Structure 1
Amino acid sequence: MVNTINAFDRITDVNMDITIKRQQPVVGLGNLLIINAVTADQNETPLSDQLTPEEVQNGLLMRKTDTATGAVYREYKNLDSVKNDYADNADIVAKAEAYFAQENHSDRIAIADLPAGKEQEALGAFWFFNWTFAIRAKSSDDNPAITLLSNIFEANKDHFLVIQSTDVTFLKTLQGQAYTIALKHDIAEPMDAAYVGAIATLPVGSTTWKFKTLRGITPEALTSTELNAINQVNAVAYTTVFGKNQTTEGKTLSGEYIDTLHGVIWVQNEMQAKLQKLLQDNDKLPYSQIGINMILAVATQVLNTAYEKGIIQQDDNGKADFTISATGRNEQSAKDLSNRHYGGLSFTYHASGAIHSITVRGTINSDTYLN
């Protein structure tokens, strides 16, 4: 798939470059954003970002308008507060209702009104606000709109787009998109909102996205052929297995498991935050082995925490399966020394997996003689 969309820039002095190394085949980051497409004239009058006492009382947590595009971002504390602004939007109300019906929903939900034709610029304005998963307000098989959004998320590689479709054939065209999660389900039900609400806020590294029950969502009766077709495109279904309603495999459209990539996002965010704090809290971080050792210590602690959370695998010796190194000052380029930039820190870790299926082999001894 052709991808001409560039990643958004974040204001930070710590740059992250992570590569996931996979075995070659023989052949709180859980908050939800509802993307609400609006016509250009719906946001003609700029709104003040200053909330009134009444708005605060009614559960509106924040509002931010992007003056360049007219897009508006809001955060709400509960379903009732969403209804205050979107009572006439049945799609948004249904999504918010499904989200807050789940046991593990967050203490907030975000909604962004994005003018048609300005999705990339508008999302960029709010990209680093308090959300990690996004869904569309109106689920539909609008393939061009879904493809555009999917490409935006794929270019940035640090948020997830959750789409819902009944068209398994269309989902094949998005194969390889690592940051798009596809749900194959009747679009009359908001499975996407329920899916995020049930799982996303659980501690990163502690859970897989398979076997989960969604409140208020009807499981589909699937034949093994239908489920195999869904699995082949790396989509997620909701069905009944041995009397329990459950989500299926839990992969993104690339075939990577959601929990693995969620862990990558956690490590990236935590590493950036902790190293940024190191820079900010020290009057001067010396460009010497002392300063480099301080950087190494902070990064090592982040990886140890990731191991404790279940993001990083345990090796055969019962230790955290990661390596980390920091090259010395004399190994840095003259340009980096001149620019006071250190680029000698690197690490590798083995992502912690999960058991999703079991094979049991048995032998039965019988006293019966067969003629």
Structure 2
Amino acid sequence: MPDTLSNTDRLNGLLLRKTDPATGAIYREYKNLDAVAVDYKEDSAVYKKATAYFAQPKHSDCLAVLDYDKSKAYDSLKAFWYFNWTFGVCVDNTIDDSTVQLSNIFEVNKDHFLVLQTEDLSKFTQMMGQNYTIGLKHDLNEPMDAAFVGGIALYDVGSITWKFKQLEGITPENLTSQELAGINNIHAIAYEEMMGKGQTSEGTTLSGEYIDLLHGVMWVQTECQSRLQKLLQDNGKIPYEAQGIAMIRAVLTQVLNEAYDKGIIMTDDTTGRPMFSVTTTPRSQQSRQHLSDRFYDGASFEYHASSAIHTITVNGVVDSDTIMAA
């Protein structure tokens, strides 16, 4: 199909269509569910996932769909990796060797999340330890994965934890303590009934790391890259001396201050200040080759990620006037 959109395409809510000539993969961005319905029937898996996504009150203003040959997954994803998406779900909930390979692609790149859903927790064992794969345990008749992304991912990065969240259209399960322990042990997430409300049972990836922490790392990385690129584009020249290096330092400091304001970076209890540092080494410490190549790699930063309270224990003492029987 042509990459150029017609007026009819735009009126139907199609925002972008792009075909990769090497793999034949087609990437589309849709404005709403009605737009998805133009290309996918209402009984199709894509439409059902899109329905769950757009049913969430916090969904984004577009949904991306990538049609590709599973045997060409790596090259297809590579072609569209830096398009407008961060979380990916699979239309086919089958978890097999190709799914493990897909998870490995996300793990290597470290800047997107793969969300998988199954009813069989054992399917996740071969992906345990993956930082960028999220495992959901839920009835496959309900697309919890699409609802999970649509319901939580668009909150401001750093402002939320992924536990305790409600998902529209997803039926919460009454889980025994043993069932919940099994889900937690493999670092998967269920949608559980708790105090009369549905909620996501945890907020971790299959490694046990918390999604909000990793999402914060992604935000900092992406913002540093884009702001430094803008610095290079908007200035006639960044001098390779103290002044230019100070400009780089200022950009990194600004990004980390914003990350602190968002809740990505922790507050130092002693000083009341954000727990991060930025280091830039002077021109004199750069190699002759780097100076010749106009390449600067003397900037670095460190921060302590903000955390969240997921479990609370309260100890209490009750005094009574009752005289107990001997």
TM category, shorter: over 0.9
Name the CA distance, whole Å, in 2 between partners of 1:64 and 1:139.
25
1:117-161 Cα distance to aligned partner (Å, 9 max, x none): 000000000000000000001223x32122111011001000000
| Paired AA for residue 284 in structure 2 | N
How far has the Cα of 1:170 moved from its partner?
A: 2.0
User: What stretches of structure 2 of length at least 5 have no aligned partner?
Assistant: none
Name the CA distance, whole Å, in 2 between partners of 1:193 and 1:321.
35
Structure 1 stretch displaced more, 314-323 or 151-160: 314-323
8 Å CA contact 2:70–2:98 kept in 1: the answer is no
| Paired AA for residue 20 in structure 2 | D
8 Å CA contact 2:42–2:48 kept in 1: the answer is no
SS at match of 1:111: strand
Taking structure 2 as the reference length, the TM-score comes to 0.98
**1:94 and 1:254, CA in 2 relative to 1: closer, same or farther beyond 3 A?**
same
Aligned to 1:264: 217
| Paired AA for residue 114 in structure 2 | L
How far has the Cα of 1:89 moved from its partner?
A: 5.6
| Paired AA for residue 265 in structure 1 | M
1:87-110 Cα distance to aligned partner (Å, 9 max, x none): 166101100000000000000000
| Paired AA for residue 171 in structure 1 | F
How far has the Cα of 1:179 moved from its partner?
A: 0.2
Name the CA distance, whole Å, in 2 between partners of 1:256 and 1:357.
16
SS at match of 1:117: helix
Corresponding position: 1:369 with 2:324: yes
Instruction: Specify which of 113, 120, 124 is matched with residue 167 of structure 1.
Output: 120
Name the CA distance, whole Å, in 2 between partners of 1:244 and 1:221.
11
SS at match of 1:347: strand
| Paired AA for residue 205 in structure 2 | T
Corresponding position: 1:130 with 2:96: no
Aligned to 2:100: 147
User: What stretches of structure 1 of length at least 5 have no aligned partner?
Assistant: 1-46
Aligned to 1:204: 157
| Paired AA for residue 277 in structure 2 | T
How far has the Cα of 1:116 moved from its partner?
A: 2.5
Corresponding position: 1:98 with 2:52: yes
Instruction: Specify which of 281, 291, 298 is matched with residue 337 of structure 1.
Output: 291
Taking structure 1 as the reference length, the TM-score comes to 0.86
How far has the Cα of 1:69 moved from its partner?
A: 0.4
Q: 4+ runs of 1 displaced by more than 4 Å?
A: none
SS at match of 2:71: coil
- What is the RMSD computed on CA atoms of the aligned residues? 1.0
- The structure showing larger relative contact order (alpha-carbon pairs under 8 Å, at least 6 residues apart) is 1
Aligned to 2:64: 110
| Paired AA for residue 362 in structure 1 | G
SS at match of 2:198: strand
Aligned to 2:267: 314
8 Å CA contact 1:92–1:138 kept in 2: the answer is no
| Paired AA for residue 134 in structure 2 | I
Aligned to 1:360: 314
Instruction: Specify which of 28, 33, 45 is matched with residue 74 of structure 1.
Output: 28
Instruction: Specify which of 81, 87, 110 is matched with residue 41 of structure 2.
Output: 87
How far has the Cα of 1:306 moved from its partner?
A: 0.3
Corresponding position: 1:234 with 2:212: no
| Paired AA for residue 342 in structure 1 | Y
SS at match of 1:228: helix
| Paired AA for residue 58 in structure 1 | N
Percent identity reads: 57
How far has the Cα of 1:370 moved from its partner?
A: 4.8
Higher helix share: 2
Aligned to 2:9: 55
SS at match of 1:360: coil
Aligned to 1:243: 196
| Paired AA for residue 195 in structure 1 | F
1:61-108 Cα distance to aligned partner (Å, 9 max, x none): 000100000000000000000010011661011000000000000000
